[in-house]
Amino acid sequence: MSDGVSAPENFEHGEHEAIDAGFVWLECQDEKYRTYYETAGDGDVPLVLLHTASADSRQYRHLLNDADLLEEFTLYAFDMPWHGQTFPPMTDEWWTEDYRLTTDFYAQFVMTFVDAFDLDQPGVVGCSMGGAIVLELARSYAEDLRAVVGLESTAHAPTRDIGYLDHPHVNQEVVRPEWTYGLQAPDSPEQFKRESWWTYSQGGNGVYVGDLYFYTQDWDIRDELGDIDTDECSVYLLTGDYDFSASPDDTREVAEQIDGAEFSVMENMGHFPMVENPALFREYIDPVLEKVKND
């Protein structure tokens, strides 16, 4: 089995990675978005990968390069609007309004991507804010999905907003990566923790705050968790034991409210498992993806 790590020593000079990339125009809630995506593999099961707040599809490069996974799955990772290489809406004067992500738009955009690629019963993996929205996908779009996998999932997280990231005296490009660096496990390889740190140093102005609006204010599925039918869409939840922003107890509470949901704690892991320790992450995600494949 591959170790799941896309490190420099694994590639020769001039060698191309397994990842293909492109742009697709998606229309959601009457706005058009030039959407960047990456895809890899030719397996029978489509798997959509959702990045964290203020980040982008780079977080999944290790999974997208994992030869073992690519035999069983076809993987898709994309940048949400305002993130990475996906622009804000291509309309007049989009810059005159603050970016604010909502539950309704988030879920609709993910399913718009699924529809655009004509994916048949995909699984969806999401981390952090992506780990939250997969719960809404399981509730509202169960008939279109085979399973969701939530990493660092919560039903409601009002304490995630630290309150000053949009203050004019705060350098977001310094505070944001330092804050998120501290959400990673101490024993995760420094090389990969710094990879996460670098990604978080590059978010657009106000995007993290706009994502936190979803995560801390708009998002609250506590009263609807019981509506999720795992006979129709399986739910798997994994949370790192060093994650203090979306703790194992937070995710355990989610799992206890969903009949048939499966939950595991990832030991020696923090908030960004697919980035901070990709080899260890494979040990936890492999048994889950085996179940997703057979759902």
| % of the chain residues with pLDDT over 90 | 80
Which of 80-84, 163-167, 175-179, 204-208 is predicted with the least confidence, judged by mean pLDDT?
163-167
Is-contact 60 40, C-beta < 8 A? no
5-38 pLDDT per residue, tens: 887 778 889 999 999 999 999 999 999 999 999 9
Looking at residue 28, its pLDDT comes to 96
Higher pLDDT, 295 or 36: 36
pLDDT given for residue 161 in this prediction: 62
* pLDDT tens for each residue of 33-78: 999 999 999 999 999 999 999 999 999 999 999 999 999 999 999 9
Q: Domain map of the chain by residue range?
A: 8-294
Question: Does CATH place domain 8-294 in 3.40.50.970?
Answer: no
Radius of gyration of the chain (CA): 18
Phi, psi of 241 (to 5 degrees): -75, -15
Count Cα neighbours of 186 within 13 Å in the Cβ-side half-sphere: 0
Written as six digits, the tokens of 4 are 């799941």
pLDDT grade for 130, boundaries at 50, 70 and 90: very high
pLDDT at 174: 81
Average predicted confidence (pLDDT) for the chain: 93
Average pLDDT (97-119) is 97
Phi, psi values for residue 101, rounded to 5°? -85, 135
Exposed / middle / buried, residue 262 (Cβ in 10 Å: 0-12, 13-18, 19+) = middle
- What tokens were used for 154? 């919560």
The token pair at 32 is 């058009």
